[in-house]
Amino acid sequence: MKIVIVTETFLPSTDGVVTRLKEAITHIHKQGHEVVIIAPDLGVKEFDGAIVEGVKPTKLPVYSSKYFSLPQRRVKSLLEKHNPDIVHVVNPAFVGVSGVYYANKLGLPLVASYHTHVPKYLDYYNLHLFKPLCWAYFRKLHSYAHLNICTSQSILKELQQKRFHNLEVWKRGVAIEHFHPKHENQEMRQRLTNGNTGDKLLVFVGRLAPEKEIHKIKPLLKERNDISLAIIGDGPIRQQLEKEFEGTKTIFTGNLHGEELAEAFASGDAMIFPSITETLGLVILEAMASGLPVIAAQSGPTKEQVVDGKTGILFENENTQSMIDAVEKLEDPELLETLSENARKEAENFSWEKPSEQILEIYKKTIAIAK
């Protein structure tokens, strides 16, 4: 089988979509299939034997920290050149529109996957009046796909309510050996706490953007002087956040990768996850695999991953006292140890093998549907 993946984001970018695609592509190649990636041209020409066909990138005024590719005719010529058995358009929004349109025009089996909750993001960019139009836009794009996939049951239900069709959940996964408690490192803890190693160390990992709601953590640091916060990642509001958290025990590391990221996770006491805009949040599972309990704002996707009082602690969104109370529960060393052990055990059920096998089955099913 020959698969063309048209994606809005790929290497060298780092996010949950890229992580999932890398794992899937590696597995697909091991099964003897061929993959070609069409993505914004950021200098990467190959991944694990897969050709990366770069298309012209640009920056958008509303999100200037990241490159995107706009719809373009080159996608048609690339689809004709590679003549795939199936096309998978990941997060169709910009260049993915071309993937959807030309796959349909050329009569190719098409899978479209929904990873980013853009309509919900609009609330954080003062664009909430455009939400109905945004939903209509994405519903139209996904209507051309023979099969649509998303990353959690709660998002599947929401998409069904918005009249998306032929939906299936693409299961979650984590690199269970890479993210592991064995990577705990005192030097890393020293770095992330700025030498205050006796503090409770909370770790945030993700893109620094308004929809991540990182500002909600600040009152916790004002309330407690024995908590250090490590904010790992980069994004359009990093400078704004650095000013906002000035005078608190907060370290901004920028993006960390590979061994450094595994050590950062494993060297914390808990991960804090304040966002309610995620379609899943793979970093939750990465934290759990590292033996970190997750303190998360309640949302459909977080409740699918975090069992309150067992693998982490949930708090009410926009309720500062609820978040403070959640963190205070970590003062119980027995509970902290139990949460940590349970988090790791739970994560061990979610290696990347099953979701990677599943996507191959989805491709085969889509080809059969399209006939």
> Does the pLDDT value for residue 125 go beyond 90?
no
Residue 358 tokens, joined: 């599943």
Alpha-carbon span 315 to 220, nearest angstrom: 13
- Residue 66 has a pLDDT of 85
Q: Which of the four pLDDT bands, split at 50, 70 and 90, describes residue 48?
A: very high
Signed CA dihedral, 43, 45, 48, 50: sign only = positive
Q: What is the mean pLDDT of residues 205-214?
A: 95
Alpha-carbon span 243 to 83, nearest angstrom: 51
Alpha-carbon span 154 to 346, nearest angstrom: 20
> Does the pLDDT value for residue 367 go beyond 90?
yes
- Residue 18 has a pLDDT of 97
Q: What is the mean pLDDT of residues 364-368?
A: 98
> Does the pLDDT value for residue 28 go beyond 90?
yes
Residue 84 tokens, joined: 């795939």
**Could you read off the pLDDT of 263-291 as tens digits, one per residue?**
999 999 999 999 999 999 999 999 999 99
β-strands 50-55, 46-47: how paired?
antiparallel
All domains of the chain in start order, with CATH? 2-173+352-370 (3.40.50.2000), 181-347 (3.40.50.2000)
**Could you read off the pLDDT of 136-162 as tens digits, one per residue?**
999 999 999 999 999 999 999 999 999
Q: Which of the four pLDDT bands, split at 50, 70 and 90, describes residue 186?
A: very high
Q: What is the mean pLDDT of residues 115-133?
A: 92
- Residue 60 has a pLDDT of 84
- Residue 61 has a pLDDT of 78
**Could you read off the pLDDT of 90-109 as tens digits, one per residue?**
999 999 999 999 999 999 99
Q: What is the mean pLDDT of residues 348-367?
A: 97
The mean predicted confidence, pLDDT, of the chain is: 96
Closest CA to 326 of 269, 283, 285, 286: 269
Q: What is the mean pLDDT of residues 342-349?
A: 98
- Residue 315 has a pLDDT of 97
**Could you read off the pLDDT of 230-253 as tens digits, one per residue?**
999 999 999 999 999 999 999 999
Alpha-carbon span 104 to 109, nearest angstrom: 8
